[in-house]
A = this chain, B = another copy of it.
Amino acid sequence: MENELIMISKKVTKKIFMPVDVIYQGESEKILTNMYLFPDNSVDFIITSPPYADKRKKFYNSIHPDDYVDWFLPISKELLRILKPNGSFVLNIKEHPRNGQRETYVLKLILALKDQGWCWIEEYVWYKKNSFPGKWPNRFRDAWERCFHLTKNEKFKMYQDSVKVPIGDWAEKRFKSMSDNDFKRHLSQTNSSLGRNVSNWLNRKKVYPHNVIVFEEEHYVSNVLEFATECSNRNHSAAFPLELPTWFIKLFTRKGDIVLDPFLGSGTTAYAALALNRHYVGVEKDQEYIELINKQIDKLNKTEN
Q: A101-B154, A131-B210, A207-B133 are in contact. Are A140 and B120 (CB under 8 A)?
A: no
Asked if A61 is an interface residue, CB under 8 A from chain B, the answer is: no
Asked if A208 is an interface residue, CB under 8 A from chain B, the answer is: yes
Asked whether A102 lies within 8 Å of B123 as measured between CB atoms, the reply is yes
Q: How large is the interface on A (under 10, 10 to 19, 20 to 34, 35 or more residues)?
A: 35 or more
How many Å lie between the Cα of A138 and that of B252 in the bound state? 11
Partner of A211 from the list B140, B174, B209 (CB cut-off 8 Å) is B140
Q: A132-B186, A212-B144, A229-B189 are in contact. Are A122 and B139 (CB under 8 A)?
A: yes
Closest-by-CB residue of B relative to A192 is B132
In the bound complex, residues from chain B placing their C-beta under 8 Å from that of A154 are 99-101, 138
Considering only residues 211-241 of chain A, those with a C-beta below 8 Å from chain B are 211-212, 217, 225, 229, 232
Asked whether B127 lies within 8 Å of A190 as measured between CB atoms, the reply is no
A103-144: CB near B (< 8 Å → 1, else 0) gives: 010011011001000011111010101111111011111111
How many Å lie between the Cα of A156 and that of B100 in the bound state? 11
Q: Interface SS of chain A: helix, strand, loop or mixed?
A: mixed
Asked whether A211 lies within 8 Å of B102 as measured between CB atoms, the reply is no
Q: A186-B132, A189-B229 are in contact. Are A141 and B208 (CB under 8 A)?
A: yes
A183 to chain B, nearest CB (A): 10
Partner of A212 from the list B107, B137, B143 (CB cut-off 8 Å) is B143
Binding site for B on A (CB under 8 A): 97, 99-102, 104, 107-108, 110-111, 114, 119-123, 125, 127, 129-135, 137-144, 154-156, 158, 160, 168, 170-171, 173-174, 182, 185-187, 189-191, 194, 201, 207-212, 217, 225, 229, 232
Besides A134-B191, A173-B217, 16 other A-B contacts (C-beta < 8 A): A97-B122, A104-B111, A121-B139, A122-B138, A125-B125, A125-B212, A129-B168, A130-B174, A133-B207, A137-B160, A140-B210, A142-B210, A182-B225, A186-B229, A189-B229, A189-B232
Top 7 A-B pairs ranked by shortest CB distance?
A: A143-B210, A100-B154, A107-B107, A143-B212, A141-B210, A140-B210, A130-B170
Q: List 8 A-B contacts (CB under 8 A).
A: A100-B119, A104-B120, A107-B110, A121-B139, A125-B144, A133-B207, A138-B158, A144-B212
